[in-house]
Structure 1
Amino acid sequence: MTNQKTLASLAVLVQSGQLDPIALAEDTLTRIESHADHSIFVGLTRDRAAQEAKAASERLKAGRSLGLLDGLPVAWKDLFDLAGTVTTAGSAVFRGNPPAKADATVVGALAAAGMISVGRTNMNEFAFSGLGINPHYGTPRNPASADVHRIPGGSSAGSAAAVAAGLVPLAIGTDTGGSVRIPAAMTGIVGYKATRGRYSMKGVFPLATSLDSLGSLCNAVQDAVWADAAMHGLTAPVIRRAEVADLSIVVPESVVFDEAESEVVAAFEAAIRRLEAAGAKVRRQSFPSFAAVFDLMARHGALVTAEAYALHRERLAGPEAARIDPRVVARARLGEKITVSDYIALLDARGRLIHETVESLKTGELIAHPTLPHVAPPLAPLLGDDDLFFKTNAKTLRNTLIGNFLDFCGVSIPCGTGAAGMPAGLLLSAPHHQDDRLLSAALAAEAIIRGEA
């Protein structure tokens, strides 16, 4: 097998009988184990994969395929419960926890579609960073960087690296401030963040429940569409590809281009020109709500920090704090200063800003801007300089966290390269619960955005 297989390309082989799910699962596990970067996965589910692959093989030979995804491998960010294994959430303090008694709901949904769970992927501790650095389990290398060890982005770091390295065609992650879209953009793959609440969060370890959402990391928008259908319990997707000439896109003039690297901006603008040349309608406008998100955070603190502190406050006050990444501890403890009145003010303002943003869009418009203002930076300087770490983390999260606060859904699609030839991403977003329309548009626009059409 070659790298960068899509679900569709593998499905053709599996459904036609040219590739047996047992052989595919074994090949996948072997390639993961023999891969040079052992920090991408924190654990493999070899016995489970063997059982699921055997069942898929028998179904397919009997002509009883469960659908497009039957017999295909999937990996899970280490926040999802997989029955019989420990969910560590990227933390050393959870290593001794009892194994999960049951699968997370979405894990069960993909299993019901016939997918083969091959293991757990590495992540930022408690999902509380956008960089992908983990002092306990190692920091995955960005597969797009051949020489320098660059970060993969986070917090779904291992999920993105696993797909970008060609180890699995699909990995499922979470996104609270950009944790699917950021690593997708940094590693040059597709990352789809669903509207919060589109899928069940049962069996998924939280970070901030007002912001947490799930999503897929994969090699093509179509793969995200297939995974989305299965996570809803559908046997086949119902999303139709849009016409490029019917797309209406607005490019924000607020915040998202501030201090952006010139090469990233150039790659984005080239993609926008290609979309316009193909018939898409593009306009630009200021979004005061974008700047207001950061004004609110400066005045009242961050919503994610308040909720993360509430979740971990006993842990942070006890002996376990000494075993947690000090940078995670420092960020989480900032939540202690956020009062109840601050928290209520954030929630009240959030509802108002969501309404204002949606009202400022014309019917059917999508928002497009660079997923990140920079490409993946080298790891070493970030490890040695806390000030640089926190500054880089804030800048990395800036563009994507707007979408979480305003309850957008979004798809990051590779749009070219920036400095050092590293990938750049274009983020298409839509208001909450407009996922079907967003994915329909992304299917139509993907090849143009990539410069392949």
Structure 2
Amino acid sequence: MTVQRTLASLAVLVQSGEIDPVALAQETLDRIDNHADQAIFIGLTRERAEREAEAASKRIRAGRSLGLLDGLPVAWKDLFDIQGSVTTAGSVVLKDSPPAEADAAVVGAFRGAGMVTVGRTNMNEFAFSGLGINPHHGTPRNPASADGHRIPGGSSSGSAAAVAAGLVPLAIGTDTGGSVRIPAAMTGIVGYKATRGRYAMKGVFPLSGSLDSLGPLCLTVQDAVWADAAMHSLTAPVIRRAEPADLSLVVPETIVFDNAEAEVVTAFEAAIRRLELAGVRVSHRPFPSFSAVFDLMGRHGALVNAEAYAIHRERLASPDAARMDHRVVARLRLGEAISVSDYIALLDARDRLIKETLETLQGGELIAHPTLPHVAPPIEPLLADDDLFFKINGRSLRNTLIGNFLDFCGISIPCGSGAAGMPVGFLLSAPHHQDDRLLSAALALEAVIRGEA
């Protein structure tokens, strides 16, 4: 049976002295070493984990705990610099790069909170897919799948699988088009995408500077709130739980339900009914800005393609391209056709659509819709058919990329199950820089969304 322990439950055990951080770190490393799926982690930072755990143990025994997270394990998507370790972004072409000279800013923030870094998690190469498939390191299996043969979602695939499999209580990912929220929904855990710029990006390998954001993958909203505080170098969270009767949600009628699986819609609508019974006000209406996002991409190309191509242009012109995932190469090359005028048009229209969306929201509404229109599909057909891969990848990214383009913050919470008993995600989103309000609402609504209240 999978052992899943939240940050909050582990904190009680560690702070009370019932579990020593050294023992917890060793247990975590052993569990990773002995787990059946060795594709979840790219590498472990064993010596660092042992050193950090020993320091936490000494502090706690001396009555000088750094706070709630002191001595607890955390894993990092292979985009974050970890001092003394090579950041490969899930790609073999970077494996001979020099080790990072310093921790990424958020890695340092967690170090300051006393957390124990245990390793790097697998991901889509260069974070450029929503499916989680990696031909170099293997594709992590979805722990929520009875047969283990479904994708975990991406690009933060290993981070989601590590939490869902009970290997770590917290893993940190990045989200450019849904890469935290998609794998969270597919594996049945919580994934919070912060507003772009909420956390320092120093030391994080980029995909698209205009869209990249960070966030935790964990088991509960409470854990996400704790992680959010640590990423700000706060000693304790400041988020307050909202009252359901004070909350209003709007369900968009545009795009997000197109071609959705019937079971996904059923699970989402059941959660909406539970929220209404709990006193939450819910309305439904069109969001023209959602369809406008896709109209723009049809005319000018995708913003992520333009910026990702600029980052990898020289790599694509070198022998390295032949060593990369051909599906990633194909998507990167799409950016070559995007002109400067197209790029400027995208940025200008983005500002306009963000403003229009804000004007659409009424009375502090939060946006609610399924995180994905489908549950996690089987892996093998996607490996065998590139056309199917690109079709399912586009569909998987569709609902979440809207929030990246419109600069939302968002959190995916499990709300039930769909086909084959696979998890369904419920996505709550808010306008940029309203993260505290979003997390406050998510704290209040999580149990109802899950059907536990």
Q: Normalized against structure 2, the TM-score is what? A: 0.99
Distance 1:262 1:325 in 2: 33
Greater CA deviation, 145-154 or 48-57? 145-154
Q: State the one-letter code of the partner of 1:128.
A: F
The within-5 A match list for 1:366-385 is 366-385=366-385
2:9 matched residue in structure 1: 9
Q: State the one-letter code of the partner of 1:95.
A: K
Aligned-residue offset at 1:363: 2.3
Q: State the one-letter code of the partner of 1:379.
A: I
**Cα offsets for 1:368-415 (capped at 9, x unmatched):** 000000000000000000100000000000000000000000000000
Aligned-residue offset at 1:364: 1.4
Aligned pair 1:207/2:216, yes or no?
no
Aligned pair 1:442/2:442, yes or no?
yes
2:285 matched residue in structure 1: 285
1:194 matched residue in structure 2: 194
Change (3 A) 1:358 1:280: same
1:181 matched residue in structure 2: 181
Distance 1:148 1:40 in 2: 13
Distance 1:44 1:148 in 2: 23
Aligned-residue offset at 1:442: 0.1
The within-5 A match list for 1:285-364 is 285-364=285-364
**Cα offsets for 1:264-286 (capped at 9, x unmatched):** 00000000000000000000010
Distance 1:80 1:124 in 2: 14
Distance 2:393 2:2 in 1: 33
1:271 matched residue in structure 2: 271
**Cα offsets for 1:43-97 (capped at 9, x unmatched):** 0000000000000000000000000000000000000000000000000100111
Distance 1:328 1:274 in 2: 41
What secondary structure does 1:191 align onto?
Answer: strand
Q: State the one-letter code of the partner of 1:47.
A: E
Aligned-residue offset at 1:148: 4.6
1:425 matched residue in structure 2: 425
1:406 matched residue in structure 2: 406
1:145 matched residue in structure 2: 145
Distance 2:363 2:305 in 1: 34
Gaps of 5+ in 2: none
Distance 1:22 1:446 in 2: 32
Distance 1:388 1:79 in 2: 27
What secondary structure does 2:99 align onto?
Answer: coil
Aligned-residue offset at 1:3: 1.4
Residues 221 and 446 in structure 2, CA contact (< 8 A), matched pair in contact too:
yes
Residues 194 and 214 in structure 2, CA contact (< 8 A), matched pair in contact too:
yes
What secondary structure does 1:138 align onto?
Answer: coil
The within-5 A match list for 1:42-61 is 42-61=42-61
Q: State the one-letter code of the partner of 1:371.
A: T
What secondary structure does 2:217 align onto?
Answer: strand
Gaps of 5+ in 1: none
Distance 2:148 2:161 in 1: 15
Aligned-residue offset at 1:146: 1.9
Aligned pair 1:170/2:163, yes or no?
no
Aligned pair 1:125/2:125, yes or no?
yes
Distance 1:134 1:326 in 2: 11
2:231 matched residue in structure 1: 231
Distance 2:146 2:159 in 1: 19
Q: State the one-letter code of the partner of 1:331.
A: R
Distance 1:395 1:81 in 2: 31
Distance 2:261 2:247 in 1: 27
Aligned-residue offset at 1:294: 0.3
Q: State the one-letter code of the partner of 2:268.
A: F
Q: Normalized against structure 1, the TM-score is what? A: 0.99
Distance 1:148 1:29 in 2: 22
What secondary structure does 2:153 align onto?
Answer: coil
Q: State the one-letter code of the partner of 2:13.
A: L
What secondary structure does 2:310 align onto?
Answer: helix
**Cα offsets for 1:247-296 (capped at 9, x unmatched):** 10000000000000000000000000000000000000100000000000
Distance 1:57 1:171 in 2: 21
Aligned-residue offset at 1:318: 1.1
Distance 1:305 1:5 in 2: 38
Residues 124 and 133 in structure 2, CA contact (< 8 A), matched pair in contact too:
yes
What secondary structure does 2:67 align onto?
Answer: coil
Residues 2 and 165 in structure 2, CA contact (< 8 A), matched pair in contact too:
no
- Percent identity over paired residues: 80
Q: State the one-letter code of the partner of 1:392.
A: I
Residues 207 and 307 in structure 2, CA contact (< 8 A), matched pair in contact too:
yes
Aligned-residue offset at 1:347: 0.1
Aligned-residue offset at 1:2: 6.3
Distance 1:4 1:190 in 2: 13
Residues 193 and 215 in structure 2, CA contact (< 8 A), matched pair in contact too:
yes
1:30 matched residue in structure 2: 30
2:156 matched residue in structure 1: 156
Q: How many residue pairs end up in the alignment? A: 453
What secondary structure does 2:14 align onto?
Answer: helix
Distance 2:9 2:25 in 1: 15
Distance 2:121 2:105 in 1: 18
Q: State the one-letter code of the partner of 2:388.
A: L
Q: Give 4+ residue runs of structure 1 displaced > 6 Å after superposition.
A: none
